[in-house]
Structure 1
Amino acid sequence: MGMEGGEEKSGPQNGEGEGVPPTSSIFRYNSPLVQVCLIGLVCFCCPGMFNALSGMGGGGQVDPTAANNANTALYAAFAVFGVLGGGIYNVLGPHLTLFAGCSTYVLYAGSFLYYNHHHNQTFAIIAGALLGVGAGLLWACQGAIMTSYPLPARKGTYISIFWSIFNLGGVIGGLIPFILNYNRNQTKPAPVNDGTYIAFMCFMSVGTILSLTILPASKVVRDDGSRATNLKYSRVSTEAWEILKLFRNWKMLLIVPAAWASNFFYSYQFNNVNGVMFNVRTKGLNNVFYWGAQMIGSVAIGSILDFSFKSRRMRGYVGISIVAILGTAIWGGGLANQLNYSRNRLPKLLDFKSSGVDYAGPFVLYFSYGLLDAMFQSMVYWVIGALANDTQTLSRYNGFYKGVQSAGAAVAWQVDTRKVPLLSQLIVNWSLTAISYPLLIVLVILAVKDSDETHQVMPTSTRSRQVRRSQRISNQSRRHESGVPMT
């Protein structure tokens, strides 16, 4: 297992402890930008395709029961391993953690290919539980990379870059069922065909292989010459204790409502909006725009959180306020839409070609749900990233966030399985997100600093002088040891 290392020398360093001069290219393999893009591609292929599959409603099946039960098992396991994932990442590093996590996505998609022929949900439930373990590992690792590799002043930008690449997977994934099921009978509900699941499995397999390209934090060099972390891998006992301490950490407790809410609404949006209002091909098309909206939302909120004001706290206040106002408007539109149908009075299936103006309103609503999802989660990630800068701490924070998030999702999927009235589901979703906004504001007030005290970046000239000075001292020392007189 890993060893708990002492702190390395602070400041920009190379692998031997000497100073590292500032770097000019942001496209180096060991740069934060390239590494965040790579983890984005991994998530494009694995969670991105999973999102496209889930966004069909019922995992692409007519009866959502199997998918609901599989997702309950998934998120119950995710709730545990989301919390543990940060510690596991700190012990194993990114390669083993990500590879193990990504491989479970392939199995999950394969279980629904099996279900298409045998209609036995046991395999899907087991695969869902295993995916919960794998997803906990992947997302804890992803969160640590996304929030700790970049410079503090650019975390919002890097979060939006990741979120855009990741959600492009949902866009492409939405095109798969749209294209492969385009000419099927659209007048009655039907599951997606085998080719849809096989295509998802191919993408997920590529993502599993790509996970091996991610570098550990100790090898990532920021543009100012500093490394992404100054700590080596930890001990299991240390991580276990640090994870337990999270449940008494007041910062994490303030994040709990936002974390619980952030995936709670998926079962409602996927099963009871996209799943019941549209035919098969239109569901796929809607997913293209749902996940495309997430790309727009993440870029928009990322820009606000990084560039809108000089004060980091003020950027946080403004970002949270914008998401709160937009969220109120979108959930209000959702309420107006939900009043038109219920479980006992389902709407006529809409088609993007033949339904005309009847399709426009529900489509815009579903698009807006995607926009809000990305803005909400990017906002929470930014707040978490503002609480610390080192990879180990942020891997634990992100693991805690994903664990609580998944616990909420596990409950939500069972809520839908129990046939809770749709209007009640909407009200609960709206209330959960509304509660989280003032608590995040409090967290920004109490814990986010305007000046970054954990990562002070020296001017380029100062760093260069220090590097030259350390080299002169090293040369003089070697000459002294070899008997050469020093001048």
Structure 2
Amino acid sequence: MPRYHSPLAQMLVVSCACFLGPGMFNALNGLGGAGQLDPRTTNDANSAVYLAFCLFSFVGIAIVNVLGIRYPAAIACLTYALYTGSYCFYNSTSNGVFTIVAGAVMGMGAGVLWTAQGVVMVSYPSEKDKGKFISIFWLIFNLGGLIGGILPFAIDYQSSGSLNNSVYVLFVILECAGAVVALFLVPPASVLRDDGSHVTIFTPNNARQECAEIFRLFRNKWLLLLLPMSFASNFFYGYQFSTYNGALFTPRTRGFNNLLYWASQMLGSVLIFLLLDSPRWPRRTRGVYAIALVGLASCAVWAATVVVQRRYTRGGVNTDYPGGMIDFSDTSRAAGPIAIYFFMGMTDAWYQNIAYWIIGALTSDAYKTARYVGFYKGIQSAGAAVSWQIAARELPYMHQLIGNWVLIVISLPTMIYTTTRLEEYALDDQVMCLSPRTTKSTLALAHLSMDVFEPASREYPRRSVRHLESII
């Protein structure tokens, strides 16, 4: 077992918390309509989720940097339980107002939780292990979607209606357990790597200073370049979950597809880690190869989806797809569309892993990581809110598909440009490699300068910034 205060142990804690919180939410969402026959309420609720998520991703930066990660993350997990529990009320009353309000509350919690998660995943590992840590998180997190998909599939295998309340109650219990798990997180200052170095932490700000730092994010060259990536990174969920899986397949086949989708995410995260952390190539080369891979794979998947999409213009029980809704028992009709959904999940995992890897390459400072991840999740959630509202307004399906494809293609050039400007070490690790003769003023200047520049000499062992300041 890893040391409790080690980066790996803390990564496992936050991964399990997300496995039980967001993982269960993804399992419900992946069913199309959160398991409801009529997806309109869920689509509106998802719009509320992601609008609040967008706002609180930025608020979450200040909350995490000022209050820490333990208690905010635990409280955030409880908001997932509130949202899932609201479907019990909806099943009884058919009134979606509470579900939409609960979605907005969950979005607030999600903004805080994902900011805390990003700090652990991106800033705790050493440079050579960042791809591995992202892969570990994605593997455990999507195990939540996989197991969460098994439960409704097994319980409601013979059902053709909405999920029953027993499934939602079971999800609520699991999400509350995620809040308990989050209480085992420790402050970043307590984390010690195996080589004896600390997580990079510069002097924390108060709330007022932290708000000023958040506004400065919108002048950060690298984050602005990554705006297309951030906006597109969850935009396709509205189409994939609702317009494709939710509209085209029978309820039990949606559950089966859900299992395959999250299983493919787990497989994809392992495969991309082997490339992102490969010692064979320098960082820039690895990044460019990974982006090229996800670009080609995404285009292939969207092109295959066009073939299926041309066969129907409406979904559900009134679908005009030849032969009606697809059930997995009819293998001759189901094999192709289900395979496409499987590869949708894999390319999603590749895209998300690469996005976090790029952010992790910009900084290793825990406080800056919170800001960068919060910015990424905020813009990502804005895109998701638009996506789910498009699905709720039932924009022509083919238009939704083309829009998703175009957004992915547009995001690739700036991702490649940013990656080709990366150096082997992020700013903070470069600072830690400076000579002990470096003055404090030089250290401060380096911290305020660009996040990527030529790495310093490696002849000195890596140390925490606090240790470095103590010897100069």
Q: If the length of structure 1 is used for normalisation, what is the TM-score?
A: 0.86
Where does 1:114-153 land on structure 2 (aligned, <5 Å)?
114-153=89-128
Letter in 2 for 1:332: A
Aligned to 1:393: 368
1:213 aligns with 2:184: yes
Aligned to 2:208: 237
Offset, 1:281: 1.7
Q: Kindly indicate whether the alpha-carbon contact (under 8 Å) linking 1:262 and 1:377 is maintained by their aligned counterparts in 2.
A: yes
Q: CA separation in 2, counterparts of 1:326 and 1:247? A: 31
Aligned to 1:301: 272
1:323 aligns with 2:294: yes
Offset, 1:308: 5.5
Letter in 2 for 1:59: A
Deviates more, 1:223-232 or 1:27-36: 223-232
Work out which of the residue numbers 421, 428, 438 in structure 2 matches 1:454. 428
Aligned to 2:445: none
Aligned to 1:75: 50
Any runs of at least 4 consecutive aligned residues in structure 1 with deviations exceeding 4 A, and if so which?
Answer: 456-464
Work out which of the residue numbers 277, 294, 297 in structure 1 matches 2:248. 277
Q: Kindly indicate whether the alpha-carbon contact (under 8 Å) linking 2:121 and 2:134 is maintained by their aligned counterparts in 1.
A: yes
Aligned to 1:197: 168
Deviates more, 1:281-290 or 1:228-237: 228-237
Aligned to 2:411: 436
Q: Kindly indicate whether the alpha-carbon contact (under 8 Å) linking 1:324 and 1:434 is maintained by their aligned counterparts in 2.
A: yes
SS state of the match for residue 429, structure 2? coil
Aligned to 1:350: 326
Offset, 1:194: 1.1
Aligned to 1:19: none
Letter in 1 for 2:312: Y
Letter in 2 for 1:454: D
Aligned to 2:158: 183
Q: CA separation in 1, counterparts of 2:113 and 2:30? A: 20
Q: Kindly indicate whether the alpha-carbon contact (under 8 Å) linking 1:93 and 1:233 is maintained by their aligned counterparts in 2.
A: no
1:334 aligns with 2:309: no
Q: CA separation in 1, counterparts of 2:116 and 2:183? A: 13
Is there any run of 5+ residues in structure 1 with no aligned partner, and where? 1-25, 471-487
Q: CA separation in 2, counterparts of 1:58 and 1:452? A: 41
Letter in 2 for 1:212: L
Aligned to 1:160: 135
Offset, 1:197: 0.7
* 1:229–1:176 distance in 2 versus 1, CA, 3 Å: same
SS state of the match for residue 428, structure 2? coil
SS state of the match for residue 213, structure 1? coil
SS state of the match for residue 167, structure 1? helix
Q: Kindly indicate whether the alpha-carbon contact (under 8 Å) linking 1:308 and 1:315 is maintained by their aligned counterparts in 2.
A: no
Offset, 1:87: 2.0
Q: Kindly indicate whether the alpha-carbon contact (under 8 Å) linking 1:92 and 1:233 is maintained by their aligned counterparts in 2.
A: no
SS state of the match for residue 163, structure 1? helix
Identity level (%): 44
Is there any run of 5+ residues in structure 2 with no aligned partner, and where? 434-456, 468-472
Letter in 2 for 1:304: L
Aligned to 1:247: 218
Aligned to 1:259: 230
Deviates more, 1:304-313 or 1:419-428: 304-313
Letter in 2 for 1:222: R
Deviations 1:151-185 (A, max 9, x none): 0111011000000000000000000110110122x
Letter in 2 for 1:280: P
Q: CA separation in 2, counterparts of 1:119 and 1:219? A: 48
Greater CA radius of gyration, 1 or 2? Answer: 1
Q: CA separation in 2, counterparts of 1:136 and 1:99? A: 13
SS state of the match for residue 277, structure 2? helix
Where does 1:32-47 land on structure 2 (aligned, <5 Å)?
32-47=7-22
Q: Kindly indicate whether the alpha-carbon contact (under 8 Å) linking 1:83 and 1:399 is maintained by their aligned counterparts in 2.
A: yes
Q: Kindly indicate whether the alpha-carbon contact (under 8 Å) linking 1:335 and 1:423 is maintained by their aligned counterparts in 2.
A: yes
Q: CA separation in 1, counterparts of 2:106 and 2:270? A: 29
* 1:382–1:215 distance in 2 versus 1, CA, 3 Å: same
Q: CA separation in 1, counterparts of 2:147 and 2:162? A: 19
Q: CA separation in 1, counterparts of 2:128 and 2:407? A: 30
SS state of the match for residue 309, structure 1? coil
Offset, 1:229: 2.7
Root mean square deviation, CA, Å: 2.2
Offset, 1:301: 1.1
Letter in 2 for 1:245: R
Offset, 1:352: 1.9
Aligned to 2:446: none
1:89 aligns with 2:64: yes
Q: If the length of structure 2 is used for normalisation, what is the TM-score?
A: 0.89
SS state of the match for residue 430, structure 1? helix
Deviations 1:226-274 (A, max 9, x none): 1113335431011100000011111111111111111111111111111
Aligned to 1:18: none
Q: Kindly indicate whether the alpha-carbon contact (under 8 Å) linking 1:101 and 1:138 is maintained by their aligned counterparts in 2.
A: yes
Q: Kindly indicate whether the alpha-carbon contact (under 8 Å) linking 1:108 and 1:131 is maintained by their aligned counterparts in 2.
A: yes
Offset, 1:463: 6.3
Aligned to 2:199: 228
Q: CA separation in 1, counterparts of 2:188 and 2:281? A: 28
Aligned to 1:480: none
SS state of the match for residue 372, structure 2? helix
Q: CA separation in 1, counterparts of 2:145 and 2:301? A: 21
Aligned to 1:479: none
SS state of the match for residue 247, structure 1? helix
Q: CA separation in 2, counterparts of 1:374 and 1:258? A: 14
